[in-house]
Structure 1
Amino acid sequence: MPASTTDAVTPASPTTRRSRRPGVPFWAQVFIGLVLGVVLGFVARQFDQAWLAETLKTVGGIFVKLLKVIVVPLVLTAIIVSIANLRQVTNAARLAVETLVWFAVTAAASVVVGITLGLVTNPGGNATLDTAAGKAPSSTGSWLDFLTSIVPGNVLGLEVSTSAEDGGALSSSPSFNILQLVILGIAIGAACLSVGAKAEPFVNLTRSALEVFSKLVWWVIRLSPLGTAALIGSAVANYGWDLLGPLAIFTADVYLGCAIVLLVIYPVVARANGLNPVKFFAGAWPAIQFAFVSRSSIGTLPLTQRVVTHNLGVSRDYASFAVPIGATTKMDGCAAIYPALAAITVAQLFGVDLGVTDYLLIAFVSIVGSAATAGLTGAVVMLTLTLSTLGLPLEGVGLLLAIDPIIDMIRTATNVAGQALIPTIVAKRNGLLDQDVYDANTFGGADARLELEEDEATAPSTDGDRVRDRDRVAVPA
C-alpha cells in the first residue's frame, strides 16, 4: 500500500536546519568576545603582563590582516560584475553623483556639529599641555594627492612602502589603494560592456571568482568574536589612557560629536527618506560594532558590504561600487567631526584666534578634503590638510597623537555607519532597495540573516541576461 501523504517525510531545507541548531547568536558571540577582551586587557595592564598584551595585539593584527587581504579581490571582482550587469550606464552615473551629493550633505552636518562643540566647550583652552612637546607628523595631506591617488600604479593598485627601523634596518610592506581599485574595476567593467558578447567568458569567470571570495569573507567574519576580543583587549592594555586627563574635554567632544551624528543626524536623514532608523541600526550594527574595535574602515569593508546587501536590502550591483567609494571618501568621524574639533583645539592651544572665514575653511576642507586624501591612511593626514590650509602649526598634531587610538574607535564606527546609510538612502530613492528585507531587521535577527550562507534575496545573478530587477542599477527617467 503506498504511503499516505501524511506519512511522507519532507526533508528540512538547509535554512530550516540551520535555524533549529542550538547555539549562541552571532551578535552575542561578538559581545562575549568584547567583554572577554576588556577583562584580558585589564589584566594585562594592571598586572603588567607584557606577554598577554603582545599576544592580544598580534592576534588582533592578524585578524584585521585577514580581512584586508580579501578586500582587493573582493572589491575588484564585485565592481567588475556590477558594472557588467548594468544596462544603462548613464543612470549609473546619476547614481554615483547622487551618492556623492549625500556624502557631502551629511559631512556638512557633521562638521557643523564639530565646530559647534569646539566653540562651546573650549577644549584647547582647558587642556594642560606643553605646546613645545608637539612634533610635526612625517606625512601630511595635500590637495594634489587626489589626482595622484586615483591613477593605479599597477593592475591591482598595490604599493610598497619602505621604512627604516631601529638600528638602521629597512623594512618593506605592501599596501593597496581602494580608490584605485574602484577606478580600475569601473574601467574594466565598462570595457566588458563595450566589448559585449566576447567578454562573457571573462565576466562569468569574474562572477565565479566573486562567489569564491564572498565565501572566504564570510569564513573570516565568523572569526569576529576572537578578533573582537583581541582588538579591544589590545586597546585596553596598550593605549595611552593615562594621557586622557589633559585632553579630557577634547576626547569627550569627539565622542559626543560622533554620538550626535549617529543618534540624531543619521536618524533624521533616514526618517526624511522614509527609512526607519531603528531598522537601519539593527541591520548595520554588526559592521558598526566591528568598526569600533578594529579602527579600520577598510578592514570592515567586507562586513559593511555584506550588511548593506544582506541586512539592509540594497541592490548588490549598486552596493558593490557605492560601499567601496564610501570606505575611502565617506568619513564623517575622521574627516568632518575630528578635524573640525582638532583644528579649533590646536588654535586654542597655540593662542591663534579663528574668524568666520577660518570656520568656513574648516567646513570646506572637511567636505571636499576627504576626496583629496582618499586612499591615504588615517585621520592624521586629514588633520594636517586642515591645519595647513588654515596656517596653523603642524606641531599640534603631535600633541593629539597619544590619544588617537582611543578616539579613533568612535570615529571609525561613525565612518562605517555613514558608509552603510548613504547607499541605503540612495537605493531607497531610486527603487533599488528591498523594503521587505530592510523592514525585517531586528537586533539579533539581522545577525541571524547575516549568517545565512545563501540569501535568495541578495544572491548575485549568474547570468547577465537574468539579473534580478532589484539588482539592476537603473534610475527611473
Structure 2
Amino acid sequence: MIRLQLHWQILIAIGLAIAVGLGINLLSQNNPASAAPFLSTFSFVGTLFLNALKMIIVPLILSSIISGISTLGSSNDLRRLGGKTLGFYLASSLFAILMGLFLVNIIQPGIINGEPAGERLNLSSQEEVGANLDKIEGRGTGDVAAVFHRMLPPNIVQAAAEGQMLGLICFGLLFGFFMTRIASPMRETLVNFWQGVFETMMGITLFIMKFTPIGVFALVANTVASTGFKAFVPVLTFFFTVVLALAAHTFITMPLILKFLAKVNPVGQYRGMTPALLTAFSTASSSGTLPITMECMEKNVGLSNRTVSFVLPLGATINMDGTALYECVAAMFIAQAYGLDLTLATQFTIVTIALLTSIGVAGIPSASLVAIAVILSAIGLPLEGIGMLLVTDRILDMMRTAVNVFSDSCCATFIARSEGETTQIAAKS
C-alpha cells in the first residue's frame, strides 16, 4: 500500500476541507441550523490539534536551544569561525525579519477594504478576546524596556507556566552556554540529558504532526463553512506579501551583502547554487539539501572544504532567514486581522522572538508552525488564525527553504573571503 507523504496528505485535507466547507456553507444558507453540528465538530477537533501544539512548545523550545548551544560551545573553532558565522546568521535573519515587517506594514494583508479581515477568517470577535487585545494594543514605546525585563524572568517555572517564551529562550541560551563550561562528568551528564529530552520531544512532535491533516481539515473546513469564499482574499494577499518579502531579501539584501562585504559577483553565486536551490525548493528541507549545497559551494563557487564543512552544517541547523521572515509576517497578519494597531514595543517583541525562535526550532518538522504559535502566545493572541495559514504553507515552505539555503551559501562565501580565500566567483568578478 502506497503511503502518501505528509505534505500531500495536508494538501488533500485542504482540498477536501474547502469542498466540504463550501457544501455546508451552501446548505446553511437555506437552513442555518443544519450547519451547527458540523461547525461544533470542526471546532472540537481543531481545538484539540491547537492544544497539542501548545503542549509541546515549552519543552521543545527549551531542549532544542540548550542541546544546540551546548554542541556549538564544545567546538574548538567557535571563537573565530563560529563567532563570525553566528554573527552573520543573526544579522541576515534580522535583515529578513525587518524586510518582512516593512512590507507587511505597507501592504497590510490583514486589512481588506479598510476593515480587519477577522470576520472573513472566522476569527473570534474582539468582544470574545477583548481584554487581551486591549492589553496588546495599549502598549507604548515605553514598554520596550519591559521586553528586556521579560528576557530575564525572576521565576523560570512561572515563566514556563505563563508562556513567557522570550524569558525561556534566553534562559535556554545561557544554560546551554555555561553547561559546557563545567567539569566532567557533570557536563556529559547534562548534555546527554538535554539531548535525550530533545530527541523525545522530536518524537512527540512527529507523532502530533501525523494528525496535522485532520487538524488542518477541521480548521479550514470550519472557516470555509462559516465564511464561504470570503476567507481567500486575505489569505492570498498574505501569500503574495510573503513571496514579495522573500524575493526582496533574496534578490536585494543578500546580493548587496555579497557585493559590498564579500566582494564577489552575486550572479556567480546564483549560478553556482542553482542545483542546490532547485533541490531545496522541491524538497522543502534544508538538511536534506545539505550534501548538494556543500558540493555546489566547493565545486561551483570554489570554497575550501574547511569552510564549507563548518559553516553550512551549522547554517542548516540554526540559520533560517525565510522561516524568520515568515513568522514575523504571519504574526503581523493575524494581529491586523483582529484589528490591532500594534505599537513599536509589540512589533519589537515580534522581531526579537522571531529571531530567537528561528534558531531554536529550525531543525524540527513544521518548525514555522510551532514558532508562530510561540510568537502569538508571547504577545497574547489566540492561536486560531494558524489554521488558515496552512492553506498556502506548503508552497511558502518550499520558497523559504530555498531562501534559507541561499543565505547559508552567502555566509559561507563571506566567511571564506574574510579568511583570505579566493573563490572562483571572486576571481571572475
Query: Match of 1:24?
Result: 3
Query: Match of 2:280?
Result: 280
Q: For 1:253, which of 231, 237, 252 is the aligned residue?
A: 237
One-letter code aligned to 2:217: G
Structure-2 separation of matches of 1:149 and 1:108:
22
Residue 187 (structure 1) shift: 2.5
Alpha-carbon spacing, 1:224–1:34, altered in 2? closer, same or farther (3 Å): farther
Alignment of 1:15-414 (within 5 A): 23-24=2-3, 27=5, 29-36=6-13, 39=16, 46=24, 48-49=37-38, 52-53=41-42, 56-57=45-46, 59-61=48-50, 63-65=52-54, 67-68=56-57, 69-89=59-79, 91-115=81-105, 117=107, 123-125=112-114, 136=130, 137-140=133-136, 142-154=143-155, 158-161=159-162, 175=163, 177=165, 179-192=166-179, 194-195=181-182, 198=183, 200-209=184-193, 211-213=195-197, 215-220=199-204, 222-223=206-207, 226-239=210-223, 242-243=226-227, 249-262=233-246, 264-265=247-248, 268=251, 272=266, 274=270, 275-276=273-274, 277-284=277-284, 315=312, 317=314, 322=319, 331-334=327-330, 370-371=351-352, 378=375, 404-405=385-386, 407-409=388-390
With the length of structure 2 as denominator, give the TM-score of the two structures.
Answer: 0.57
Give the % identical residues.
8
Structure-1 separation of matches of 2:188 and 2:55:
26
Partners of 2:159 and 2:168 within 8 A in 1 = no
One-letter code aligned to 1:203: R
Structure-1 separation of matches of 2:292 and 2:203:
18
Residue 235 (structure 1) shift: 0.8
Alpha-carbon spacing, 1:265–1:258, altered in 2? closer, same or farther (3 Å): same
Partners of 2:67 and 2:194 within 8 A in 1 = yes
Partners of 2:97 and 2:325 within 8 A in 1 = no
Query: Match of 1:444?
Result: none
Gaps of 5+ in 2: 25-34, 120-124, 256-265, 295-310, 358-372, 421-429
One-letter code aligned to 1:334: A
Alpha-carbon spacing, 1:270–1:210, altered in 2? closer, same or farther (3 Å): farther
Alpha-carbon spacing, 1:328–1:429, altered in 2? closer, same or farther (3 Å): closer
One-letter code aligned to 2:223: Y
Residue 217 (structure 1) shift: 4.6
Residue 249 (structure 1) shift: 5.0
Partners of 1:315 and 1:427 within 8 A in 2 = yes
Structure-2 separation of matches of 1:423 and 1:128:
30
Structure-1 separation of matches of 2:384 and 2:51:
23
One-letter code aligned to 2:173: I
Gaps of 5+ in 1: 1-21, 162-174, 286-303, 348-357, 385-396, 434-471
Residue 151 (structure 1) shift: 0.9
Structure-1 separation of matches of 2:45 and 2:406:
38
Structure-2 separation of matches of 1:217 and 1:372:
21
Structure-1 separation of matches of 2:197 and 2:51:
18
Alpha-carbon spacing, 1:365–1:126, altered in 2? closer, same or farther (3 Å): closer
Secondary structure (helix, strand or coil) at the match of 1:239 reads helix
Counting matched residue pairs gives: 344
Structure-2 separation of matches of 1:420 and 1:150:
29
Structure-1 separation of matches of 2:413 and 2:157:
29
Secondary structure (helix, strand or coil) at the match of 1:159 reads helix
Structure-1 separation of matches of 2:156 and 2:377:
28
Q: Quick check: 88-97 or 325-334, which moved more?
A: 325-334
Which is helix-richer, 1 or 2? Answer: 2
Partners of 2:319 and 2:408 within 8 A in 1 = no
Residue 147 (structure 1) shift: 0.4
Residue 83 (structure 1) shift: 1.9
Alpha-carbon spacing, 1:107–1:238, altered in 2? closer, same or farther (3 Å): same
With the length of structure 1 as denominator, give the TM-score of the two structures.
Answer: 0.53
Structure-2 separation of matches of 1:127 and 1:189:
42
Larger Rg: 1
Residue 326 (structure 1) shift: 9.2
